[in-house]
Amino acid sequence: MKGGKLIVFSAPSGSGKTTIVRHLLSQEHLNLEFSISATSRAPRGDEKDGIDYYFISLEQFKKHMKGGDFLEWEEVYRDNFYGTLKTEVERIWAMGKNVIFDIDVVGGLRIKRKFPEETLAVFVRPPSVEELKIRLKKRKTESDEKINMRIAKASVEMATAPQFDFIIENDVLENALKEAEDLVAQHIAKNNRSEEEE
C-alpha cells in the first residue's frame, strides 16, 4: 500500500472530534477524504450506509477479520466491532487524496505504528469527563446504559493522549477547529517536501 497521507483523529465519544473532522473535510485545500469504517453496530439517527459507515452484520465482520481484510479493527464496545478495511484506504489513495480517520484511540495508534511517516495522529481532549456526560446526554441518541459504557471507556482513553503526535483541547470549538486545520496543513506540506527531496 502506498499513496497519500493519513490523518487520524481519535478521542473519547462525545469529545467533538466528529465536528472537527467534518470541518476539515470541508476545507478543499487539504484534499481530504473520509475513511468510512465498517461496523457491526446498528445505524443511529439518520446515519446512512456507505456514507457514515459500512453497516455490516457481525457475521460479515468476522469473515473480514478472518480474511485479513482490515488495516485495523477493534471491539470498541462489547459486541460492537469497528474496523478500517484496507480497500477503503486504497480507494482514497487511488483518488489522489489524503485519508482522514475518525476512529478510537487503539485503532488510531495502530495506524500510526503501521505508517509512522505518513500518519499525523491527533487526540481531541474534551474539557472534562463531566462535560462529556452532558454532551452525550444532549445528543439523545443512546440509552443511559450505553452512555455510561462510553463514559467508563473515556477515562481509559484519556490516558492514551500522550502517545499521540498532538493533543487538541476542545474547549472553545473555534480554536480547536483552527488548530486542527493548521496541524493538518503543516503535516501535508511537510511530507510533500520530503517526497520531493527523495
Residues that bind ligand 5GP (CB under 6 A): 13, 37, 41, 72, 74, 76, 82-84, 102-104, 106-107
Return d(Cα 71, Cα 87) in angstroms, integer.
Answer: 9
CA–CA distance, 99 with 119 (Å, rounded to integer): 9
Looking at beta carbons, which residue is closest to ligand 5GP? Answer: 107
Residue nearer to ligand 5GP on the CB measure, 101 or 191? 101
Which lies closer to ligand 5GP via its Cβ, residue 140 or residue 193?
140
Judged by beta carbon, residue 47 or residue 181, the one nearer ligand 5GP is 47
Q: Least distance from C-beta 119 to ligand 5GP, angstroms?
A: 14
Rounded to a whole number of angstroms, the minimum distance from the CB of residue 198 to ligand 5GP is: 30
Q: How far is the CB of 193 from ligand 5GP (least distance, A)?
A: 30
Could you give the angle at the alpha carbon of 48 between the alpha carbons of 180 and 154, nearest 5°?
Answer: 50
Select from 5, 4, 11 the least CA-distant residue to 103: 11
Query: Least Å distance between CB 35 and ligand 5GP?
Result: 7
Sign (positive/negative) of CA torsion 33, 95, 5, 80?
positive
Toward ligand 5GP, which CB reaches closer, 4 or 12? 12
Check if the beta carbon of residue 47 is closer than 8 Å to that of residue 100: no
CA 39 to chain CA centroid, nearest Å:
13
